[in-house]
Amino acid sequence: MDLLNHLALGFSVALTPINLLYCFIGSLLGTLIGVLPGIGPVATIAMLLPTTYALQPVSALIMLAGIYYGAQYGGSTTSILLNMPGETSSAVTCLDGHQMALQGQAGAALAIAALGSFFAGCVSTVFVATVAIPLSELALKFGPAEYFSLMVLGLIGAVVLAHGSLLKAIAMIILGLLLGIVGTDVNSGAARFAFGIPELTDGLGVVSVAMGLFGFAEIVTNLESVEKRELVTAKVKGLWLTMDQFRQAWPAVLRGTGLGSFLGLLPGGGAMLASFGSYALEKKLAKDPSRFGKGAIQGVAGPESANNAGAQTSFIPLLTLGIPENAVMALMVGAMTIHNIQPGPQVMTSNPSLFWGLVTSMWLGNLMLVVLNLPLIGIWIKLLTVPYRVLYPAILLFCAIGVYTISNASFDVSQTAAFGFLGVLFYKLECEPAPLLLGFVLGPMMEENLRRAMLLSRGDPSVFVTRPLSLVMLLMAVALVLLIAVPNLRKTREEAFAEES
Amino acid sequence: MGLIRHPKDFFAGLLFIAFGVGALVVGANYTLGTAARMGPGYFPRILGILLIVLGAVLSLRAMRLQGSPVSAFKWKPTVVVLGSVVVFGLIVEHLGLALSTVVLIVGASSASPEFRWKEALVSGIFFAALAIGVFVMGLKLQLPIWPVFLFAQ
């Protein structure tokens, strides 16, 4: 019955007119920006984060969650109609979704994406509410040594489950940690890596880092490659499914929801892993796998449900342990810190209305997306007909205004541009920026816990392996790295991500 | 280039080494402290050393692994796009949102191979009006609309 009480408390917060309004604005803005080609959820959230600064913390987080789901859903729309994923998690939706659109089934593809996501959202909201309490109770038993090891495990897990070179990803994490500690050291008050620049003593801004690496770098690299877009608009009519399509799709929705909810919990998991996993699963289970890639509705229904479920359950490690598991959650940490909320197990007990309000608003946000997207699809399509050469300067403008108004400082804008340049370099050298962002937000926390653990053990580093929980987590991290080194498993990992290219 | 078979890894390695060396050099005079009482220099030094090691492994490995070359760095879009954003940040508090927006939109547009003056100008004026409507009038952000010096007391 506790569950019902908590959900009731949550709804009493989320259903206040003002929070409903912010949830609505968030979903709307998120979809609006997310629909734009080449803008994924990280860039969308970074761009819209400044608009939430003036709000109450609860409203701000509810709005941000709305932005996240909106961006996710907007990305699916772009994938289906334009064959241009805004982010990796909707890349698989392109495969069959766009084929369906080409065959005049765009309406059905959009409808199943919306309904599948909504169903997944309902299930995973309950899942979040059930798992959150035991996990945060466990987390309250953690000392600094456990926390440090947990962060190591989280960071390693994040790169093992992501694609690309493991070595590079680990180096990117370390670089992120290093960038994270720029600014005044909380213990000694010494300014580190500030180069005498007063703005840098407050540290680098998470918005600048994320927007530069994900937003600006994306725009620059998009401009380098000549775009080839095939927009399917004329054929979008009848946003509904036939009985037959519904029969084919619902088992995929169920499986996608289950798989996605689980994969979303893992470090490095979340939306992207969930959608790739679900696509592979559906293809394997299908009676006729050759239909995949040619407009199979299961290929849209499964991944779309899975990525939404994963997007939602990836909040669990953040809300209960305080550990972000992917780039989007890293930005949420940044957002919470700005509102003076230290993410972690104490949020649930010290600020229950915020916690449960956020959980229930996840469900409301999903409901709004269905209500919003199906009728408004015409507007999103109109937006997609605007050529990229007109869109990208406008995106830059809103980013620039957003960063500038954080503290009315031109320094922040230049700093973002600098990270944009670094992002282009990383893109050229095939270094994924997501691990860097994770390291960046965890940097100060990791240093603090390392310090405390070593202080308590009087400088004896064996504390990390003598405390059982800490040892288990470190062993798991080592096991993950070793797994990747085993040739057989490496092959599976490469195959799992091969769908993308 | 015969020795470097995987240029992307090789240069990525160099980049990490550079950051690592930078961390050690800049952080050289931060108090190190002891393992039990870490000073501000302790953690960055660990990270710097790790970066150098990882970067070196990457670069050395690049002489054995095979990889595709790094695609040519095109300066124009990078400099024009990022440059116009920097310029916007520098001028907005002096010239106001209206003019700065036009400068940013037209400037950034010129990076596109399909750049058209007229279109960029029209879109600049449109987005200037939109930005003023949304940010100054709607969200009440503290941004001047017109050049400040024209309206100084």
**CB < 8 Å to B73, chain A:** 424, 428
| b/e map B128-145, b = 16+ CB within 10 Å | beebbeebbeeeebebbb
Judging contacts by C-beta atoms under 8 Å, the chain A residues touching residue B137 are: none
- What one-character DSSP code corresponds to residue A176? H
Q: Which of B15, B26, B82 sits opposite A193 (nearest CB)?
A: B26
**Cross-chain Cβ contact A188/B37 below 8 Å:** no
Of A171, A226, A430, the CB nearest to B16: A171
How far, in Å, CA of B1 to CA of B10, rounded?
A: 11
**Between chains, do B88 and A188 touch, taking CB under 8 Å as contact?**
no
CA distance A452 to A459: 10
The rounded distance, in Å, linking the Cα atoms of A339 and A351 is: 13
A178 contacts chain B (CB < 8 A): yes
User: Quick check: A386 contacting B, CB < 8 Å?
Assistant: no
Helix (H, G, I), strand (E, B) or coil at B33: strand
Q: What is the pLDDT of residues B91-112, one digit of tens each?
A: 988 898 889 999 999 999 888 8
- Interface mutation target, options B11, B17, B78, B130, chain A, most CBs of A under 10 Å: B78
> What secondary structure letter does DSSP report for A236?
-
Q: Which two tokens stand for residue A57?
A: 């913390």
Asked whether the beta carbons of residue A454 and residue B38 sit closer than 8 angstroms, the reply is: yes
Interface with B, mutate which of A224, A426, A458 (most B CBs under 10 A): A224
Report the Cα A205 to chain-centroid distance in Å. 18
CB-nearest partner of A185 from B40, B106, B111: B40
CB contact (8 A) between residue A392 and residue B120 = no
Please name the residue of chain B whose CA is at the shortest distance from the CA of residue A450.
B43
Closest C-alpha among B106, B108, B110, B98 to residue B151: B98
Rounded-to-integer distance, Cα A91 and Cα A272, Å: 9
Closest-CA residue in chain A for B39? A188
Alpha carbons A104 and A288: distance in angstroms, whole number: 21
Q: Dihedral of the CA atoms A19, A22, A28, A32 (nearest 10)?
A: -150
Residue with tokens 């679900």: A278
What is the Cα–Cα distance from A390 to B27, expressed in whole angstroms? 44
Cα A453 to Cα A350: distance, rounded to the nearest angstrom = 24
Nearest CB to B78; choose among A190, A421, A447: A421
ipTM of the complex: 0.91
Q: State which residue of chain B sits closest to A431, comparing Cα positions.
A: B12
Burial class (CB in 10 A: 0-12, 13-18, 19+), B13: buried
Q: How far is CA A242 from CA A66, A197, A275, A337, in A?
A: 30, 62, 24, 47
Report angle CA B71, B72, B76 to the nearest 5 degrees. 130
In angstroms, the CA A368 to CA A19 distance is 13
Q: Which pTM value belongs to this model?
A: 0.85
| A488 part of contact set with chain B, CB < 8 Å | no
pLDDT values of chain A reduced to their tens digit, one per residue, 501 residues = 577 888 888 888 888 888 889 989 999 888 888 888 777 788 888 888 888 888 888 899 889 888 988 888 888 888 888 777 666 667 788 888 888 888 888 888 888 888 888 899 889 888 888 888 888 888 878 888 988 998 888 888 877 766 678 888 899 999 999 999 998 888 888 888 888 888 888 888 888 998 899 888 888 888 876 555 566 655 566 667 778 888 888 889 999 899 888 888 876 666 777 888 888 888 888 877 788 878 888 888 888 898 888 888 888 888 888 888 888 888 888 888 888 888 888 888 888 888 888 888 888 888 888 887 777 878 887 887 888 888 889 889 988 988 888 888 889 999 999 999 999 999 888 888 888 988 998 888 899 889 999 988 888 888 898 888 899 889 988 888 887 766 555 555 555 555 443
